[in-house]
Amino acid sequence: MTIGLLGNKIGMTQIFDESGNIIPVTILKVGPCVITQIKSTLKDGYNSIQIGYGNVSGKSLNQPKLGHLQKSNLQPLKYLKEFRVNEIEEFEIGQVLNVDSFSTGQLVNIRGKSIGKGFSGLQKRYNFTRGPMTHGSKNHRAPGSIGMGTTPGRVLPGKKMAGQLGNKMITVKKLNVIQINLNENILVVKGSVPGKPGNLLSIVPSE
């Protein structure tokens, strides 16, 4: 995996290209991220880079996380994330990674937690077809039969039923980078990304 960056979703808007076509885009505030730990095959069994994002006061972190950062003389950071890499020689602890590690036209994968929509029924959660609304039907949005009455005589695991919708980690792949603002650490990508404005996101170059 290539090293990525952490950021927050600002919101969605639309821009126009040279031909006048409307492009729906999402604006992201990405980085700056700080390298907080470097793991090597010799010491840890694999190569990886841990990055930190989001400056906070030391009072908001627990003692293990605060001690982990103080050991490397780093400021308190709210979020930590690890990325597997092949080579670790080009990185060093305390190195700052900015949005300039991406380029216009590049494809990226963006991962974040989707908007939670609570306990939802089958029509909303799985696009089930509803029952007839007339002719005396009492089955409109009910689930109907959920299994056999005899063998095996139980509900099989994985049955699509009503339940929690959203609020889980989603990855949207191969989003095109439209614009980059190096001064404000802004990344503009085509299309939508998971979550609501302010949501924490992981942005990784597509392989």
Domain map (residue ranges) of the chain: 5-205
Condensed to tens digits (0 to 9), the pLDDT of residues 18-39 reads 899 999 999 999 978 999 999 9
Indicate the pTM of the whole model: 0.84
Mean pLDDT over the full length of the chain: 91
Report the CATH superfamily, name and number, of domain 5-205. Answer: Translation factors (2.40.30.10)
Q: Is the pLDDT of residue 166 over 70?
A: yes
Q: Is the pLDDT of residue 1 over 70?
A: no
What pLDDT score was predicted for residue 31? Answer: 79
What pLDDT score was predicted for residue 89? Answer: 84
At residue 77, the 3 state secondary structure works out as: strand
* CB contact set of 112 (below 8 Å; sequence gap of 6+): 9, 169, 170, 193, 194, 195, 199, 200, 201, 202
Rounded-to-integer distance, Cα 115 and Cα 123, Å:
18
DSSP per-residue letters across 95-144: -EE-GGGS-TT-EEEEEEEPPP--EE-HHHHH-PPPPPSSTT---SS---
Confidence of residue 187 (pLDDT cuts 50, 70, 90): very high
| Lookup result for tokens 């003692």 | 63
51's tokens? 């990055």
Average pLDDT, stretch 95-124? 93
